[in-house]
Structure 1
Amino acid sequence: MAFFNEKDWREMFRLRRAIVRAEQSLSEIDREILPDGLCESDIAILERLARKGARPVNGLARQVGLTSGSMTSAVKRLHRRGLVETRRDLDDKRVVWVSVTEEA
């Protein structure tokens, strides 16, 4: 197993600091350009629904890369803002469909 020498460690920490600064800058940019109160995952959900139409919540979660818990929170947040609607599947009451509203 190879070990890092001092020069490698310094370079690794320098790169890590640069990555942290870049992430902070991106967060600041997001706060400036994203609509008030929406986050990146909210935008991804709305874009996907606008392009593909109504989707089952669990399938939408997989498509945008969210866990089921994160998707549930996001859908509730978007529903409170009037940006999405939900409805139970007529054939399988366990399935919840989500779609964008006219306001979105």
Structure 2
Amino acid sequence: MHTAEFAKLLGMIMKDYQTHMEEELAPALTTSQLTVLEVLEREGKLKPSELIPFLSTTPAAVTMLLDRMERGGLIRRDRDEGDRRIVWVSITEKGKREAERGVQVREAYLGGVLDRISTHNQQLLVYLLGKISGK
């Protein structure tokens, strides 16, 4: 079994990725905020609770994250017209620009990582990761 070696390499890759992304996205954005912006761009307006599965965190942490994002002008919160108890979260124009920048940062980093191996091995890696992830 190669589980220990796999765990070590996966940990190194994840740490390098997280460090690079946080440094390049700062100070306007974090990786969690980028995730929220990408989900909102793809899904449209959502309730805060609908963001939880994408973030692997608690409702309280999502609320704090959205508070920071709203203060930063990345998202907007609006009360539902029909039911004032419901709050909708949507992306702002500034949020769209920051999401685009964040995606470019990520693609540049991952492109550089993948360029270390051949195109064939890139395809094989993606295939194998898909198998591992169950997708």
Q: Structure 1 length as normaliser, TM-score?
A: 0.70
Structure with more of its chain in strand, by fraction: 1
Residues 26 and 63 of structure 1, relative CA distance in 2, 3 Å threshold: closer
CA distance in 2 between counterparts of 1:51 and 1:68 reads 21
Listed as ranges, the matches of 1:4-15 within 5 Å are: 12=4
The answer to whether the 8 A contact 1:57-1:95 is kept is no
Listed as ranges, the matches of 1:1-104 within 5 Å are: 12=4, 21-104=12-95
Residues 33 and 52 of structure 1, relative CA distance in 2, 3 Å threshold: same
When Rg is computed on C-alpha atoms for both structures, the one with the higher figure is 1
CA distance in 2 between counterparts of 1:55 and 1:23 reads 28
What CA RMSD, in Å, does the superposition of the two structures yield over aligned residues?
A: 2.5
Q: Structure 2 length as normaliser, TM-score?
A: 0.56
Gaps of 5+ in 1: 1-10
Residues 101 and 15 of structure 1, relative CA distance in 2, 3 Å threshold: closer
**More divergent stretch after superposition (30-39 vs 42-51):** 30-39
Residues 46-75 of structure 1: per-residue CA shift (max 9 Å, x gap): 011111111111112234433211110111
Secondary structure at the aligned position of 1:55 is classed as coil
Give 1:94 deviation, angstroms.
Answer: 2.3
CA distance in 2 between counterparts of 1:103 and 1:25 reads 27
